[in-house]
Amino acid sequence: MISRIRAERDDKLARVARRLRSLHDGDLAVIESIGIGTDAIPVLREVLFERDRAGIFEPRVRAVRALGALNATNVLKDFVATWRPAVDPIERLGDEAVLSATARSLGATLDEQALSILCAVAREHPIPGVIETLGRFKRPETIPILIDALADDCAATAAQDALRSNPDQAVPSLIEIALRVTVGPSGREMPSSVRRRRRALRLLLEMPVTGDARNRIARLAHDPDDEIAALACRIAIAADCEQPGRACAKRLVDLLRRAPWPLRKEIEDCLIEHLAVAREFVDRALGQPPGGHLVDSSQLQFRRSLERIKRSGSSARGH
């Protein structure tokens, strides 16, 4: 009798494993696995730890869903702790999708050990799902990892959302990284440093920044990167102190001469908003005759921008 029950259970588990791997009824196998209970965990673990060189990840993600529902967090933590990226790029994409799903499942538990494991893997591999999950913990030890991830084009959106959701802890670190220039062997700032600082400043535009902090950021008004300089001016121009506001308004007008779209539109909108401070410099630039006998397209674009700023500012004042 016992042997028959075991045989039926083994047959049922084998069927669940086949259905989890199926492209047609795999989702039903998740429900069936949960119905079986803890006896299904070894099979689910086996499916989760499988590698697929074709990059097919859906069966393993289904296993993650079932393991999460069964509170098999030890299996999920073991998977994250032992995860290593595949060499083959297609296989790696699938592995990253599974890791992201596992991280999100662990994030729902807010488990301290899970946090430590996720931080360890994120330091080496800033996978979007892992970065997103770290943001849910809202812990100070995650902030440096999230800020480092700003330099990664794939993980940046998740990192921005995570930092945006925790401004009190994020603002001081964002200011520090915005001011920190990482120089490469060539003696120039590394591209990853530029990306990180740009994204940090864009986040600071949305966050509560004190007057003292705005004055510190104003030091970047003459940064070699025009986007960083413009972003710093946009933040600092709102400071209560008149001196950085005027200096930043003047600098924004200068940057407008060569700014590409959409940076040009951002600068225009800022100068319109702060026209009370910027009017002197807008009028001065409009009053200057174009250089040379021929007016090139960039000069025309600059003048049109100044005219739009003055016109929009006057309309807003009229209302």
Whole-model pTM: value is 0.88
- Quick: pLDDT tens for 270-314: 999 999 999 999 999 998 876 554 457 888 899 999 999 999 866
Please give the span between the terminal C-alpha atoms of the chain, in angstroms, as a whole number.
Answer: 87
According to the model, what pLDDT value does residue 192 have? 97
Beta partners for 257? none
Please say if the pLDDT value at position 269 is more than 70.
yes
According to the model, what pLDDT value does residue 125 have? 95
According to the model, what pLDDT value does residue 292 have? 52
Structure tokens at 130: 């892992």
Alpha-carbon distances of 296 from 6, 19, 94, 267, 292, rounded to whole Å: 84, 67, 51, 21, 9
- Locate the domains of the chain by residue range: 1-109, 241-319
According to the model, what pLDDT value does residue 294 have? 46
Structure tokens at 181: 């220039």
Average pLDDT over residues 151-167: 96
Pair 67, 45: CB distance under 8 Å: yes
Please say if the pLDDT value at position 187 is more than 70.
yes
The single-letter code of the amino acid at 111 is D
According to the model, what pLDDT value does residue 241 have? 54
- Quick: pLDDT tens for 66-123: 999 999 999 999 999 999 999 999 999 999 999 999 999 999 988 999 999 999 999 9
Please say if the pLDDT value at position 156 is more than 60.
yes
Average the pLDDT over each of 67-81, 112-126, 170-184, 241-255 and give the range with the smallest value: 241-255
- Alpha-carbon span 76 to 194, nearest angstrom: 36
Confidence of residue 242 (pLDDT cuts 50, 70, 90): low
According to the model, what pLDDT value does residue 222 have? 96
Q: Which residues of 95-110 are buried (b: 16+ CB within 10 A; e: fewer)?
A: bbbbbbbbbbbbbeee
According to the model, what pLDDT value does residue 316 have? 56
